[in-house]
Amino acid sequence: MRYCPNCHAPLEADREVCPTCNRLTDATKMWMLYGKGNIGFAFLGVLFPFIGLVLYLGLRRALPRHAAAFFIGALISSLAAIVLALLFLLGLMG
Ligand SMILES: [Zn+2]
């Protein structure tokens, strides 16, 4: 017996979509689907430093410590997103 990876409802064999939650039940297809989404989010993450920089420049005078912390956080999160995107692309090619 197979079970839906999303809602854990029992599935008939060869069902691609769960009748309970209407999600894809194939783990590979789900990975591809979410993988594409992650690449989109990764590219979105590249924009974070710009947002962080704008906020940093805006907050610098009022809250120097908070501004620096926010800028560093945005930088680290975007770097992590880029690394994840590269790893995923390498995984697709390999
Ligand atoms: Zn389900």
Residue pLDDT, tens place only, 26-39: 766 655 666 565 66
User: Is a pLDDT exceeding 80 seen at residue 10?
Assistant: yes
Report yes or no on 58 lying in a domain: yes
20 C-alpha to center of ligand 1: Å?
5
- DSSP-based three-state secondary structure for 60: coil
Task: Give the number of residues written for the chain.
Answer: 94
- pTM of the predicted model over 0.85: no
Residue 37: inside a domain: no
Average confidence score pLDDT of the chain: 74
Where helices occur in 25-63 by DSSP H, the ranges are: 27-45, 48-59
Total number of domains constituting the chain: 1
Q: Please check whether residue 41 lies inside any domain of the structure.
A: no
Residue 69: inside a domain: yes
Domain-embedded: residue 24: no
Is 36 domain-assigned? no
Determine the structural domain holding residue 50 and report its residue range. Answer: 46-93
d(CA 16, CA 30): 10
In this predicted structure, the answer to whether residue 19 has a pLDDT above a threshold of 80 is: yes
**Is the residue at 79 inside a domain?**
yes
Q: Is 60 left (phi over 0), alpha (psi -120 to 50) or beta?
A: alpha
pLDDT at 17: 82
Select the more confidently predicted residue: 87 or 94. 87
CA of residue 25 to ligand 1 center, whole Å: 7
